[in-house]
């Protein structure tokens, strides 16, 4: 997209995380100046070499604290909120924190706000996570009606806690218990999500006030996903679907390696995590989805028996 955001100042909440670093890179490639705002800036410093002189800024901010959010947003042209948690006080982060960011963006007169939510955001969700994400979307729209809402499915990439987590479990266990075996996912590549977010931020006239659901080109059940990973890392394993009553017990006590560690995470597995029929997604944001097979084996190779040298020598 060339330098379509040249000299725009983008404040990126959560910019030092797994997704955030990719979004920062996408923004820098489009010519933006990026201000990374988060509580702990240690991880964010990896972004600094990606930009030119003066193209990156760093500020300590906690989205739960309105004053720190307002200071981080001051002078921005665009604001992007990536902050999310999988355990902890969902309401404080996903609803109130999102509201703080949206209010600060509105007060500062920024021209675009992109809020990253999740597929599964639903006021009637069986999980507190899903309900809090829905409440966050509502709070953002109330404060900044022209915000763009981005709802990704499970995001995969070299540093993810999804494919890597299962690959590590499959590598170690001869028999792999699979919780939520029938639950469907539509894994989406982190670089694709980052590009979509950057494009939405660059074109508020086209994307402002809209919601997008981002999924990759494949829909896989949890069982199919584990089987795909096992094949990708060259490990023949017995995959066993865990019956629902036992899975619920495991979730309550968290005593199985790789299992959901909270009841809420298990509740999230009660619904498929796929793009809704008719929802606009990556294509509407100018991104062609990347299949897992095209990229994931490049980093999953480390889980093979002989790492990157597996399979190269034949008798």
Average pLDDT over residues 225-240: 91
* C-alpha triplet 140, 143, 148: angle, nearest 5°: 45
The answer to whether the beta carbons of residues 243 and 181 sit under 8 Å apart is: no
In a domain, 176, yes or no: no
Residue 308 has pLDDT above 60, yes or no: no
In-domain check, residue 51: yes
The whole-number pLDDT of residue 9 equals 96
pTM: 0.91
The residue range of the domain holding 128 is 9-156+187-216+273-289
In a domain, 259, yes or no: no
- The answer as to whether 71 is a domain residue is yes
Residue 94 vs residue 309, higher pLDDT? 94
Q: Is residue 224 part of a domain?
A: no
Which class for 53: exposed (0-12), middle (13-18), buried (19 or more C-beta within 10 A)? exposed
Q: How many structural domains comprise the chain?
A: 1
Task: Output the pLDDT for position 222.
Answer: 94
| 315, part of any domain | no
Structural domain contains residue 25: yes
**Is residue 68's pLDDT more than 90?**
yes
Confidence of residue 44 (pLDDT cuts 50, 70, 90): low
CATH number for the domain harbouring residue 93: 3.40.50.720
């Amino acid at each position: 997209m060339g330098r379509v955001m040249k000299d725009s100042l983008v404040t990126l909440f959560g910019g030092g995380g797994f997704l955030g670093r990719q979004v920062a890179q996408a923004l820098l490639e489009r010519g933006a100046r990026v201000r990374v705002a988060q509580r702990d800036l240690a991880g964010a410093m990896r972004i600094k070499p990606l930009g030119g002189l003066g193209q990156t800024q760093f500020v300590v901010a906690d989205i739960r604290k309105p004053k720190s959010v307002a200071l981080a947003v001051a002078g921005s042209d665009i604001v992007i909120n990536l902050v999310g948690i999988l355990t902890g006080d969902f309401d404080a982060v996903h609803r109130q924190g999102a509201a703080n960011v949206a209010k600060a963006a509105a007060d500062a007169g920024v021209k675009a706000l992109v809020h990253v939510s999740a597929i599964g955001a639903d006021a009637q969700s069986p999980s507190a996570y899903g309900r809090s994400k829905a409440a966050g979307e509502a709070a953002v729209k109330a404060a900044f009606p022209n915000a763009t809402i981005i709802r990704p499915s499970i995001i995969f990439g070299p540093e993810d806690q999804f494919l890597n987590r299962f690959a590590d479990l499959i590598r170690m266990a001869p028999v792999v218990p699979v919780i939520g075996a029938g639950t469907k996912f539509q894994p989406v590549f982190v670089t694709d999500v980052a590009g979509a977010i950057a494009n939405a931020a660059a074109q508020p006239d086209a994307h402002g006030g809209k919601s997008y659901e981002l999924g990759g080109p494949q829909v896989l059940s949890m069982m199919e996903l584990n089987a795909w990973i096992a094949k990708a890392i060259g490990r023949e394993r017995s995959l066993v679907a865990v019956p629902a009553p036992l899975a619920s017990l495991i979730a309550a006590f968290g005593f199985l390696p790789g299992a959901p560690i909270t009841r809420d995470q298990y509740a999230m597995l009660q619904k498929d995590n796929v793009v809704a029929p008719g929802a606009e997604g990556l294509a509407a944001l100018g991104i062609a989805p990347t299949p897992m097979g095209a990229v994931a084996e490049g980093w999953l190779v480390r889980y093979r028996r002989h790492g990157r040298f597996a399979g190269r020598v034949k008798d």
